[in-house]
Amino acid sequence: MGQAKFSQTDFLAAAQAIAAAEGPAAATIASITARLGAPTGSFYHRFASRNVVLGELWLRAVRDFQEGIGAALDAGDGLAAALHTPAWVRGHLDNARLLLMYDRKDFVQGEWPEELRERVAEMTRRMEAGSRQRARAIFGEDGREEVRLAQFLISEVPVAAVRQHLVRREPPPPLVDRLIRTTYRAVVADYRARKRKPGLAERAV
């Protein structure tokens, strides 16, 4: 039996390129097979449906992205976790466009095999559980305020800072890192100053 001309990796790469350039909706079975010059049957030999391909793309992108953030948080370095976003975008522009310009629901939809559903559910649980780890890494506490501020610093600020560069399909310049760093330090300094005030008042009494 001859070797298969197109591998699962080939189809995923084609889908990724299409989705990154035109959005997940453009990654249809017809467009994916046309990009490869592959027969439709070859696609179905490897994937049950288009939804499975999109789910795999989302899962691979978020797993790769979260790995760097997780490593920084495990080391207790909240600033490094915040700066991971522009660094990762520079090295993974297509995946970054997929993950940061579109919503999870653009990928996670339809009927999936049980194994893929379990992997996506596990990734979602890990991301939700990471909210307290982010707060502890930055503020040493994981109360409601700390969790919200940590989300702002590690997720919202960096994504907002790189977004316009993703739209233009360009790597973020060093200025983006400086903006993230400045914002991070200002928010942390404000938090610490507010936490110190009650103690100072009590000592004065």
- pLDDT per residue as tens digits for the range 82-94: 999 999 999 999 8
Mean pLDDT of 104-114: 69
This prediction has a pTM of: 0.80
The pLDDT of residue 5: 82
Q: Rounded to whole angstroms, how far apart are CA atoms 205 and 200?
A: 9
The pLDDT of residue 178: 98
CB 69, CB 55: distance < 8 Å:
no
CB 170, CB 120: distance < 8 Å:
no
Q: Rounded to whole angstroms, how far apart are CA atoms 91 and 60?
A: 15
Gyration radius (Cα) of the chain, Å: 21
Q: Rounded to whole angstroms, how far apart are CA atoms 25 and 19?
A: 7
Residue 205 has pLDDT above 50, yes or no: no
The per-residue pLDDT for range 43-74, each reduced to its tens digit, is 999 888 888 888 888 888 888 898 999 899 98
Q: Which residues contact 16 (CB under 8 A, 6 or more apart)?
A: 57, 94, 95, 98
Q: Give the burial class of 83: count Cβ atoms within 10 A of its Cβ; 0-12 exposed, 13-18 middle, 19 or more buried.
A: buried
Mean pLDDT of 157-181: 96
Residue 203 has pLDDT above 70, yes or no: no
Which residue, 129, 157, 116, 141, is CA-closest to 192?
A: 141
